[in-house]
Chains A and B, each alone.
Chain A
Amino acid sequence: MDMAQYMQIFIEESRENLQDMNSNLLYLEDNPEDTNTLNNIFRVAHTLKGMSATMGFNNVTHLTHEMENILDHIRKDNMKVNVNIIDLLFQCFDKLEGYIGNIENYGHEGGEATELINKLHSVKPGDTARATCNKNHITDQNAENSSKPTVQLNEYVNNVVSVAIKDGLNVNLIKISLDDGCVLKSARAYVVINTLEKFTDIIHSNPSIEEIEDEIFGLSFELVVISEKDNKFIRKELNNISEIESIEIIPLSRENIKISQDIPIIGSMDNNDTKNKGNEDGGITDKKTRTSKTVRVDIDRLDNLMNLVSELIIIKTRLEGIDEDKKRQNANEAIEYLERITTSLHDAVMKVRMVPIERVFNRFPRMVRDLSKELGKNITLIMSGEETEVDRTVVDEIGDPLIHLIRNSIDHGIEKTEKRMESGKEKTGTVKLVAYPDGNNVVIEVEDDGGGIDVERVKKKAVERGIVTHEEVQLMDDKESIQLLFNPGFSTVDAVSDISGRGVGLDVVKTKIESLGGVVEADSCQGKGTKFIIRLPLTLAIIQALLVVVGTEKYAIPLNSIKEITTIKESNIRRVQDSEVVLYRGSTLPILRLSKLLNVPNTKELHKDVDKEVVVVIVKKGEKDAGLIVDSLIGQQEIVIKSLGKYLLNIPLIAGATILGNGLIALIVDINSYFKFIGGEII
């Protein structure tokens, strides 16, 4: 069978399962006695095993199998959870993650984790019958998933079965084991159930029908059916279904129903234990069923939908442009209505693309745990706002910058325990990771309660590195100085030791965030801690922009970077060295002429009229402002951002293009890069 089409699903699901395992492992570390968590890890390992076996990734299967063995020992109280085991399990997790990564990137899983498996073997007490182990897992797992409803159902089932037997009907317990290679398990199970329903009444199933439909089961499931037909007939019918490994039909009489009261239908071991687990598991099972109501959609299809919505918005804008005639009231109303719909449609499509930032945050607890162990610091990570939703593209891209920032905070921000004690702080350092929506932006903050940034040292370093001159640095306030950390010149190796490591690769973080259309700022209070604030736009594809005219060309300036629009007299512009500034509201504002920067032909710059007033769009980036001189304004418009394509990658000063209502293209100016133009000269 061609597996390629299932590959993506496999990878996605594996990743989800791994994330699940990760959080459960972390929890288990703090609560080693918690059987629930243990069972969850077990279940995840088992699912992974099944999935990878189906896909033919034997090393993954092998490793997860060994993990199961270990976990099984712990479950059976042959072993206690200790630091070694947790570490080992984490190593397994890492390896699994590596495997999945390899599969995603290269299509094969990579070498066998012999060393790790040996380690797993070494912690195993005594010899165990592995073959039976495996079988038990499946049943245990099933019991776990559904034992809660089973317990309740049993009385009912019991009654029905008793009545049926009294009426002389055949009551059978049918155990179906699906083939290892069966891909659409739930569909296969559905075929089985459908076949049975033709001539039997299914009164009970384990796991429940819903769970079977949602594919929350291993490879086997059990049904209790009442039928007039005998076993042979049922077997014959079922034999016609493919991809079934084994069919077991056990006639139920009054005697074995008694047993089934204790043991939820199946002959599993340690039944009491399972039942308890089931009860406690309730919440988690609920959660599972809730998530299963989603549909997996290929991101390309969403992009396609998004493009269509964009087209619609372009057409809408065009309609708005056509009809200037006031008399045509009806048309106007229709257009307004259309506008409302397109806006809602756009919102809806954007929402589809949104995923909770949790997906990124999930990996941090583990990272913080490892780092704090490695560095011998006690650190707690407090996360909040994981449910904040951001665009899918943002989720994919934001991970690395955040890792960078968190590492920075832990490595260089939070002091050693002794030092913390000296300065009268809590022994345990805290790193806070907070996300929240703010208007059209999402804000992510990384905050630590460490030593903070030594501004004077930053300044000194910046001068040494030639980023700023001695004179300039004197004029800078603390905030501006801290921003120097994001300067590429700071990220050199020896800066690590000189400025307590602050600034390592922060320029990389900044570049990444800016490429997503966001900004990053740092805020620090010496002795108290540091806070990095990342601000990202919610949507990446459609923005509000101001259209301006420069010469004969039209340009779009993103509205979120515009502070205000004003006019100033040409005569008020002063030349300072090579740049132009103007005194505006008591402070100096650097002036940039768009026509000059964009080499717009035929501009009347040569004969400057001193008394003429020019239109200045004041743009901001973080705390910095600059004025852009344009010829005239057209107005505000919703625009769809298009890239200039691969061929024109990295054209300076241009962030992209947009198609106007009349079908012409206007370029979007990249405000961030204008600030690079002002360069080192900071006001």
Chain B
Amino acid sequence: MSPINQYVVFKLNKENYGVPIEHVETVEKLTEITRVPNAPHYINGVMNLRGEVIPVMDLRKRFDLEHISTTDDSRIIVLSLDEISVGILTDSCSEVIALDKGQIDKTYNLTIPLEDDYVEGIGKLNERMIIILDIPKLLINNMDT
């Protein structure tokens, strides 16, 4: 176990977020999304990822953020955990950074206006703050919604 981990960084409402690279399957441009009736409100629908049907989650709805329309920079990051694959809608995604444990503050030290349930910690890199998401919580905890 190396103490340095890599994170895929994406933007959502001007904030930087990071997800552990081992959970990232692929990053895709926006494609057509088919609405799924009676799904949780933050599920935009399902998309076709090379023959696989993948649900797409709108993190803005999930985190109760202000709605912003998608742009050409918008990307869908497909996360996977065990057999679950879910795409998350982001404003843009363009870099991978390396953070060691010391650069990440655990959230219990902080108060964040967001739902800190899905936040594993805050990464600091050259004055930038990166919200590290807790993938298992994000993908598993909400099954009952």
- A residues engaging B (CB < 8 A)? 307, 310-311, 314, 553, 597-600, 642-649, 651-654, 657, 659, 663-667
- Determine the distance from Cα of A135 to Cα of B55 in the docked complex, in whole angstroms: 62
Q: Which of B28-36, B93-101, B116-124, B125-133 contacts A (4 or more CB under 8 A)?
A: B28-36
What residues on B are CB-neighbors of A642 within 8 Å? Answer: 52-53
A666: chain B residues at CB < 8 Å are 34
Contact count A vs B, C-beta below 8 Å:
73
- Residue B38 lies at the interface, judged by CB distance under 8 Å to chain A: yes
Q: Which of B43, B47, B51 contacts A648 (CB 8 A)?
A: B43
Determine, out of B2-10, B14-22, B79-87, the stretch whose residues face the partner at the interface. Answer: B79-87
C-alpha gap A580/B34 in the complex (Å): 29
Q: Which residues of B contact A644 (CB under 8 A)?
A: 36, 46, 53, 55
- Write out the residue numbers on chain A whose beta carbons fall within 8 Å of the beta carbon of B104: none
Q: Are B37 and A654 neighbours in the complex by a CB distance under 8 Å?
A: yes
A307 and B84 contact, CB distance less than 8 A: no
Given contacts A307-B51, A646-B83, contact A652 B38 (CB under 8 A): yes
Whether B86 contacts A665 by the Cβ 8 Å rule is no
The yes or no answer to B27 lying at the interface (CB within 8 A) is: no
Q: Which residues on the B side are within 8 Å of A598 (C-beta)?
A: 37-38
Q: Does B48 contact A (CB under 8 A)?
A: yes
Determine the chain A residues whose CB is within 8 A of the CB of B39 once the complex forms. 648, 651
The answer to whether A553 touches B86, judged by C-beta atoms less than 8 angstroms apart, is no
Q: Sorted from nearest, which 4 A-B pairs have the closest CB atoms?
A: A598-B37, A665-B34, A642-B53, A657-B53
Contact across chains for B55 and A645 when beta carbons are under 8 A apart? yes
List residues of chain B with CB within 8 A of the CB of A653: 37-38
Inter-subunit contact B35/A553 (CB<8 Å):
yes
Assuming the A-B contacts A646-B84, A665-B46, are A651 and B38 also in contact, with contact meaning beta carbons closer than 8 angstroms in the complex? yes
How far is it, in angstroms, between the C-alpha of A680 and the C-alpha of B98 when the chains are bound?
59
Given known pairs A651-B39, A664-B34, A666-B34, the reply for A657 and B46 (CB within 8 Å) is: yes
Chain B residues with CB below 8 A from A652, complex form: 38
Give the CA-CA distance A600 to B34 in the complex, in Å: 12
Q: Can you identify 23 A-B contacts, CB atoms within 8 angstroms?
A: A314-B51, A599-B37, A600-B37, A643-B53, A644-B36, A644-B53, A644-B55, A645-B53, A647-B55, A647-B84, A648-B36, A649-B143, A651-B38, A654-B37, A657-B34, A657-B46, A663-B48, A664-B34, A665-B32, A665-B46, A667-B36, A667-B37, A667-B46
Which residues from chain A contact B59 at a C-beta distance below 8 Å? none
> In whole angstroms, what is the CA distance A646 to B86 when docked?
9
Q: Which residue of B lies closest to A666 (CB)?
A: B34
Whether B86 lies near A647 (C-beta < 8 A) is: yes
Cα distance A667–B39 when bound, in Å?
A: 12
B12 on the A face (CB < 8 A)? no
Cβ-defined contact, A665 with B37, below 8 A: no
Q: How far is the CA of A648 from the CA of B48 in the complex (A)?
A: 15
Q: Is B139 an interface residue (CB 8 A)?
A: yes
Taken residue by residue from 66 to 108, chain B's Cβ proximity to chain A (1 for < 8 Å, 0 otherwise) reads as 0000000000000000011110000000000000000000000
Interface check B54, CB cutoff 8 A: yes
Given A642-B53, A648-B43, A664 and B48 contact (CB-CB distance below 8 Å): yes
Which residue in chain B gives the minimum CB-CB distance to A599?
Answer: B37
Interface residue SS majority, chain B: strand
Are A667 and B38 in contact, with the CB atoms below 8 A? no
Q: How far, in angstroms, from A465 to B84 measured CA to CA in the complex?
A: 40
How distant is A445 from chain B, measured CB to nearest CB, in Å? 36
Q: Give CA–CA (A598, B37) in the complex, Å.
A: 5
Min CB distance B48 to A, Å, is 5
> Bound complex: CA of A682 vs CA of B38, how far in Å?
25
Would you call B55 and A648 a contact (CB within 8 A)? Answer: yes
The residue in chain A whose Cβ has the minimal distance to the Cβ of B139 is A647
Q: Which residues of B contact A657 (CB under 8 A)?
A: 34, 46, 53
Query: Which single residue of chain B is at the shortest CB-CB distance from A656?
Result: B53
Nearest A residue (CB) for B31: A663
Residue in A closest to B45 when the chains form the complex, CB atoms: A665
A645, B85: Cβ atoms closer than 8 Å? yes
- Output the least CB separation between A68 and chain B (Å): 44
- In the complex, are the beta carbons of A645 and B34 less than 8 A apart? no
A647 to B51 CA separation, bound complex (whole angstroms): 17
Q: Residues of A contacting B51 with CB < 8 Å?
A: 307, 310-311, 314, 659
Given A647-B84, A659-B48, A665-B48: A599 in contact with B53 (beta carbons within 8 A): no
A648→B46 contact, CB < 8 A: yes
User: In the assembled complex, which residues on chain A have CB atoms less than 8 Å from the CB atom of B38?
Assistant: 598-599, 651-654
B36 touches A645 (CB 8 A): no
| Interfacial chain B residues near A654, Cβ < 8 Å | 36-38
Q: How far is the CA of A597 from the CA of B37 in the complex (A)?
A: 8
B86 nearest CB neighbor, chain A only: A647
Which B residue sits closest to A657, measured CB to CB? Answer: B53
Known: A645-B55, A649-B143, A653-B37. 19 other contacts (CB 8 A): A307-B51, A597-B37, A599-B37, A642-B53, A644-B55, A646-B84, A647-B143, A648-B43, A651-B38, A657-B53, A659-B48, A663-B48, A664-B34, A664-B48, A665-B34, A665-B46, A665-B47, A667-B34, A667-B37
The smallest C-beta distance from A608 to any residue of chain B, in angstroms, reads 22
Q: Which of B34, B37, B51, B86 is most buried by chain A, counting CB atoms within 10 A of its CB? A: B37
Residues on B with beta carbons closer than 8 Å to the beta carbon of A667: 34, 36-37, 46
In the docked arrangement, what's the CA distance between A642 and B139, Å? 20
CB distance B48 to A647 under 8 Å?
no
Q: Report the minimal beta-carbon distance from A541 to chain B, rounded to whole angstroms.
A: 13
With a CB–CB cut-off of 8 A, which chain A residues contact B45? 665
Bound form: Cα–Cα A598–B85 in Å: 24
Q: Within the assembled complex, what's the spacing in Å between the Cα atoms of A647 and B53? A: 11
**Nearest Cβ on chain A to B115's Cβ, whole angstroms:** 18
